Amino acid sequence: MKKLRLLFTLLVLLIANVSYCQSEQECLNNLSIFAESAKVKYYDAAYETWKIVLESCPKINLAVYTYGERILKHKIKNSIGDEQDNFKRNLVSLYDKWLENFPTKKGVSRIGSILSTKAQVMMDFKMANDAEVYQVFDEAYRKDAASFTNPKGLYNYFNTLYNQYKSKEDNVTPEHLFNMYEEISEKFDIEATKLAKKLDKILIKIEEGQPLTNKETKNKRVYEVNSKAIGILISNLNAIISIEATCNNLIPLYKRNFEENKSNSVWLKRAASRMDGKDCSDDPFFVTLVEALHNIEPSADSAYYLGLLNDKKGKSTQALKYYEESISLETDQYKKAKILYKIAVKFKKSGRKKSARNYARKALRNQPSMGRAYLLIASLYAGSANECGETQFNKRAIYWLAADIAKKAGRVDASIKKLANKTARSYMGRAPSKTDIFSEANEGAKITFNCWVGASVTVPKL
């Protein structure tokens, strides 16, 4: 009897195993069928087979979700009414299944990427209100900020919160709004720096005259497109917050929260940065913030702000000492580039053109793709026309130099290419015309600027 039961059990297991193998093989066959169609964008042909695989064996391969996303987006685009709404719901459901079955890729979490994409789809197809979309974005960011990198998603993460703040229906406080702005701005900085590091390697090869591989040429285009997108969205983000982040709003807010945050270096850095960025640094409370920050955590940031305070008091030597300390304390070359650029801007505002250029050049040595540093140098040259040159022609010739620098800004930094080209055209419009060159009969001549600029240009040929 025992032998019969054992034989029966073995038979059942064998049948189950055969059935499982047949089922797995069937899944693999169907996976191959729909994947071949999806590869060549025959999404309608792929749809039914893909649906079978999703329902029968959701863990079989990541392609079920990557191709499934494309298939459903195609179906949404090519349907209307109830049928389209059903496909939209299926797409949102797909992201949930994706999270459940393939939350990682090559051992790295993709939770933030999947959830933020889900939130963006809900927003794009108007499937939820701002509060509901924000909750999904927030879950993505809190669970896995590392893979939440899509610039559009990051912008909308903040924008959906801002919409709630403006509606006054969801009790979003100014503190929460400004904290979220700082977090998203910092995240944009991180993503922009990642791109800059990749792009700088390519720019250095170009500067050295080395040919680029096909892959590097392709990557350069991708980096520039993404960099441009980040630049536009950061600009939009700043435009939104500038309405709320006035000195009249910021100073009372930070004063109100200072006591509970006076030992919080992150909060102090963000508050000081925001006040500096909005030109609120003349207020005595800025001194309180900076001193508190420097006392608990002497850093590149706090040293920079101490330099700024001394600059405002007219103590240039002491200010420069703190600026240099700020640079020496910063070990990350890209963060150092940002500090050097900020110092260059401060020197420009105070009329110290040569110092401004020197610091802008130092910034570029740390980050060759910092186009705004080139634009700053170009503006310094353009603003020196009356200082550099004996004749009216020679004075205006400096605009050729300024235009060349502005063009270079656009070449190295796609995020400001439009502005750079517009600026270059403006400078060229102020430079001597062809008629002027003909009248002077000096085409091809070299003009040297013996002022602080210390550079030269060659008069263009007619």
**pLDDT tens sequence across 11-37:** 443 333 434 444 788 999 999 999 999
> How many separate helices (H) and strands (E) can be counted in the chain?
20, 4
352 pLDDT higher than 70: yes
Q: What percent of the chain has pLDDT over 70?
A: 95
169 pLDDT higher than 90: no
**pLDDT tens sequence across 115-143:** 999 999 999 999 999 999 999 999 999 99
Residue 125, pLDDT score: 96
Distance CA 259, CA 60 (A): 55
Which residues have C-beta within 8 Å of that of residue 130, sequence separation ≥ 6?
A: 160, 161, 163, 164, 167
Residue 9, pLDDT score: 44
| Single-letter residue type at 107 | G
Helix/strand/coil for 110: coil
Extended beta strands in 320-438, E state: none
Distance CA 407, CA 378 (A): 9
In whole numbers, what is the pLDDT of the chain averaged over residues?
91
168 pLDDT higher than 90: no
Q: What percent of the chain has pLDDT over 90?
A: 79
Distance CA 327, CA 304 (A): 8
For residue 210, give the DSSP letter.
P
171 pLDDT higher than 60: yes
Give me the mean pLDDT over the 229-244 stretch: 90
356 pLDDT higher than 50: yes
Distances, alpha carbon 46 to alpha carbons 22, 89, 114, 363, in Å: 22, 19, 22, 52
Q: Which helix (H) or strand (E) holds 446?
A: strand 446-448
**pLDDT tens sequence across 176-202:** 999 999 999 999 999 999 999 999 999
**pLDDT tens sequence across 47-73:** 999 999 999 999 999 999 999 999 999
Residue 5, pLDDT score: 55
**pLDDT tens sequence across 411-446:** 999 989 999 999 999 999 999 999 999 998 898 999
Residue 131, pLDDT score: 95
Q: Can you say whether the dihedral through the CA atoms of 345, 347, 350, 351 is positive or negative? A: negative
Contact 290, 304 (CB under 8 A): no
Residue 7, pLDDT score: 45
298 pLDDT higher than 70: yes
